[in-house]
Structure 1
Amino acid sequence: MKRILIVEDNKTLAKLLAKKIELSLKYEVDIAYKLSEAKLFLKKYTYFMTLLDINLPDAPNGEIVDYVLSKGNRVIVLSANIDKDFRKQMLAKNIIDYVNKGGVDDINYIIQTLQRLEKNQKHKVLLVDDSMVFRKTMKNMLENLLYKVITVAHGEEALGMITAHPDLSLVITDYNMPVMNGLELTAEIRKEYTKTQLCIIAISSNNDEEVNALFLKQGANDYIKKPFSKEEFSCRINNSIEALENIQYITNHASRDFLTGLYNRRYFFDNMYEYIEDTKTSGEKFAVAMVDIDNFKQLNDTHGHDVGDKVIVCISEILRTNTSYRDIVARFGGEEFCMVLKNINKYSASDILERVRQEVEGFNFNLDANTEIRLTVSMGVSIHEDEDSLDETINQADMQLHSAKQNGKNQVLFN
């Protein structure tokens, strides 16, 4: 479990903050009331984050910040000092944030910041700038926010990195660069990725207001003008990533089955109609398999719907793990699934689906220490022909599924 160190001489505030963090984030929290106590904790544990007051009984002038940073720890400063020059001095250090200790809202802000930093670890950022000095500065700021960072010097190199790293969440690009400038790079990226798939933030010291508008028109999510503060940079980056997460969350819930995480019926048909149009040009063949869990009603009646749901989840995982990333596995409703195996012939499809059937048959679903439920599935399969519609192919697979059920279940039948 991750740990947080709070160093704060106000015991009431320290305990309140610790309780909030433990409840909201499930972290282990240690509290030190002075620098000497903090040193003992830092020797004993490794911390995900340290929250440091800068006016302590044995370190009244922020000495703890330099000490904790020197030990390689991440720091958020807590302070009641609102002096702008002092704040600027602290932000010049390699800290993550400077938070005022004003009340409950500030505590909530700290919780939100920790949650954001936790999520940032899942995101990869591509930084594109021809200035080595500026690249290094921004890379350090991004890594301080816990992003994974890749750096390149110009747009053409960036396009290669985007191809090599399809899991990128954000591209930060300078405007003036050799080979390919930031505006050209933005236009190229938007040919392949929408704003909801990949964020782009442009950065420039150009005073021409049209440049800002041109970037936004080409598809940039945001524009930051140099010079900028650490706080502005952090806020804009985090806001863009959070917007991307929210859109992807909504999109995912609209296209996924709530129980299994498989695609739902709506997504299946939307995706497949587009895919079939592509196969008319490519000539690619695919198989549609209708899959049904055998004796599922009896299982539900005997053991209850909670057990039935667990069985559905187990079967869906077997279907998912036996298909490639290009294939589609969707839950059509109840105990019925539809699988699409793309770019495949009848013999290869038969091998894959027979393997799935055998894996289900060999799976041990243990209800408790003394009760084991044996599971099987029946499948009906149709290889899509050019002259057929998607509905016709599914109907043919459905008829084969019906025959498999009538002929004894636990089998794969092709049309």
Structure 2
Amino acid sequence: MEKILIVEDNKTLAKLISKKISETLNFEIDIAYTLHEAKLFLRMHEYFVTLLDINLPDAPNGEVVDYVLAHDNHAIVLTGNIDKDFRKKMLQKNIIDYVNKSGVNDVNYIIGVIKRLQKNKEHKVLVVDDSMVIRKQIKAMLENLFYKVITVAHGEEALGMLQAHLDISLVITDYNMPVINGLELTKEIRKEHSKENLPIIALSSNSDDEVTALFLKSGANDYIQKPFSKEEFSCRINNTVEAQENINLITNHANRDFLTGLYNRRYFFKTMESYIEEASQSNESYAVAMIDIDHFKAVNDTYGHDTGDKVIIHLSEILISSVTHRDIVSRFGGEEFCIVLKNINKYNAIDIFDRLRKKVETTDVLSDKGEEIRFTISAGVVMSGDDDLEETINQADMMLYKAKQDGRNLVLIDD
């Protein structure tokens, strides 16, 4: 388990912060009341982040911050000092944030910052700027916020990186660059990626309002004027990434089955429309299978609906682990599933579905009372043809019905 170090000479406040973090987040908490104690902890352990008071009995002028940063630790400053010059001096250091201690709301704010830092570890940011100094500066700020960072010098390199790294979450681009400038890069990216799927933040020292408007009209999600403060930069980056996460969450709720996390029927038909067109143009064959749990009503009647849900979840995990990332696995409802295997011939498709059937047959699910439940599935398979999707699904359903009639625990394909 990751750890957080709190350095705070006010024992009551330190214990309050520790208690609130422990109740909300999955971290182990160490507390040091002096710089000397903090040094001992830092020699023994690695910390996700340190929360630092800057007025300690043996370090009254923020010496703890310099010590922590010198040993490559991430720091959030906690202080009652409201002096603007001192605050500015502290923010020039490579700290994550500067938080005034004034009440419980500040503790809640710190918890929110830590949650954000945890999520940032999942995101990769592409920085595009022709100035090596600026690239290094932005990279350092982003890495201090736990982002993974890739840097390039101009738009042409950026487009290559986007093709090589499909998991990039955010693009930060300068305006004036050689080869392809930031505005042209934004337009090129928007040909392939929507604002919701890949946010873009533009940077520029140009104070012309028209430039700002051009970027926003061309698809940029935000615009930051150079020079910018560290706080403004961090807030805008985090807000943009958080907005993208919220959009993805809403989209997933709309496209995913609530119980299994598989794609739902609505998403299946939506995504298959575009795939069928692509497959037709490239002459790519695919297999569509309707799959059903045999005697599922008996499972519900015997063991209860909670156990029935466990069986459905267990099957969904087998289905998703038995196909490639290109294939489509969806739950149509109840115990009924539909799978599309892309770019495959008849014989390989039958082999995959039969191996899947045998895998289901040889595994079990535990009921709430610890009873081992074995179950089987039947499947009807149709290879891609000239019929539309609805007709293909109907044919697969007919083959599934025939498999049930022929004794269940079967895979049948329409010749």
Cα distance, 1:368 vs structure 2: 7.9
Larger mean Cα displacement after TM superposition, 399-408 or 37-46: 37-46
Give me the TM-score of the superposition, normalised by structure 1.
0.97
AA in 2 matched with 1:395: N
Q: Distance in 1 between matches of 2:306 and 2:401?
A: 26
CA offsets, 1:79-111, max 9 Å, x none? 111111101100111111100101122111101
Aligned to 2:389: 390
Q: Distance in 2 between matches of 1:30 and 1:355?
A: 51
Aligned to 1:81: 81
Aligned to 1:304: 304
Larger mean Cα displacement after TM superposition, 284-293 or 139-148: 284-293
Aligned to 2:268: 268
Larger mean Cα displacement after TM superposition, 271-280 or 108-117: 271-280
Alignment of 1:229-244 (within 5 A): 229-244=229-244
SS of 1:191's equivalent in the other structure is helix
Cα distance, 1:375 vs structure 2: 2.0
Give me the TM-score of the superposition, normalised by structure 2.
0.97
CA offsets, 1:203-235, max 9 Å, x none? 010122211111111101000010000000000
Larger mean Cα displacement after TM superposition, 5-14 or 127-136: 5-14
Cα distance, 1:150 vs structure 2: 0.5
SS of 2:263's equivalent in the other structure is coil
Aligned to 2:70: 70
Q: Distance in 2 between matches of 1:343 and 1:126?
A: 32
Larger mean Cα displacement after TM superposition, 59-68 or 354-363: 354-363
Identical aligned pairs, as a percentage? 69
Q: Distance in 1 between matches of 2:128 and 2:207?
A: 20
AA in 2 matched with 1:195: K
Q: Distance in 1 between matches of 2:231 and 2:405?
A: 67
AA in 2 matched with 1:325: H
Cα distance, 1:277 vs structure 2: 3.0
SS of 1:105's equivalent in the other structure is helix
CA offsets, 1:323-372, max 9 Å, x none? 12221110011111001112222112111111111111122334489732
Whether the aligned pair in 1 keeps the contact of 2:307 and 2:368 (CA below 8 Å) is: no
Alignment of 1:185-196 (within 5 A): 185-196=185-196
Q: Distance in 1 between matches of 2:69 and 2:282?
A: 57
Whether the aligned pair in 1 keeps the contact of 2:124 and 2:167 (CA below 8 Å) is: yes
Aligned to 2:50: 50
SS of 1:261's equivalent in the other structure is coil
Aligned to 1:363: 363
Q: Distance in 1 between matches of 2:320 and 2:389?
A: 21
AA in 1 matched with 2:408: K
Aligned to 2:147: 147
What residue ranges of structure 2 are gaps of 5+ in the alignment? Answer: none
Whether the aligned pair in 1 keeps the contact of 2:186 and 2:220 (CA below 8 Å) is: yes
Larger mean Cα displacement after TM superposition, 277-286 or 176-185: 277-286
Cα distance, 1:283 vs structure 2: 2.7
SS of 1:19's equivalent in the other structure is helix
Q: Distance in 1 between matches of 2:138 and 2:204?
A: 13
Alignment of 1:19-168 (within 5 A): 19-168=19-168
Q: Distance in 1 between matches of 2:134 and 2:370?
A: 65
Aligned to 2:293: 293
Whether the aligned pair in 1 keeps the contact of 2:303 and 2:367 (CA below 8 Å) is: no
Aligned to 2:404: 405
Q: Distance in 2 between matches of 1:389 and 1:93?
A: 62
AA in 2 matched with 1:394: I
AA in 2 matched with 1:403: K
CA offsets, 1:357-396, max 9 Å, x none? 111112233448973222211001111212x111111111
Q: Distance in 1 between matches of 2:181 and 2:20?
A: 46
Cα distance, 1:34 vs structure 2: 1.3
Q: Distance in 2 between matches of 1:368 and 1:76?
A: 46
Aligned to 1:349: 349
Q: Distance in 1 between matches of 2:384 and 2:159?
A: 36
Q: Distance in 2 between matches of 1:169 and 1:274?
A: 24
Q: Distance in 2 between matches of 1:183 and 1:89?
A: 35
Q: Distance in 1 between matches of 2:161 and 2:147?
A: 16
AA in 2 matched with 1:400: M
Cα distance, 1:33 vs structure 2: 1.3
Whether the aligned pair in 1 keeps the contact of 2:221 and 2:240 (CA below 8 Å) is: yes
AA in 1 matched with 2:344: I
Per the alignment, do residues 7 and 310 of structure 1 end up closer, same or farther by CA in structure 2, a change over 3 Å counting? same
Q: For the aligned residues, what is the CA RMSD?
A: 1.3
AA in 2 matched with 1:379: A
Larger mean Cα displacement after TM superposition, 399-408 or 273-282: 273-282
Alignment of 1:252-263 (within 5 A): 252-263=252-263
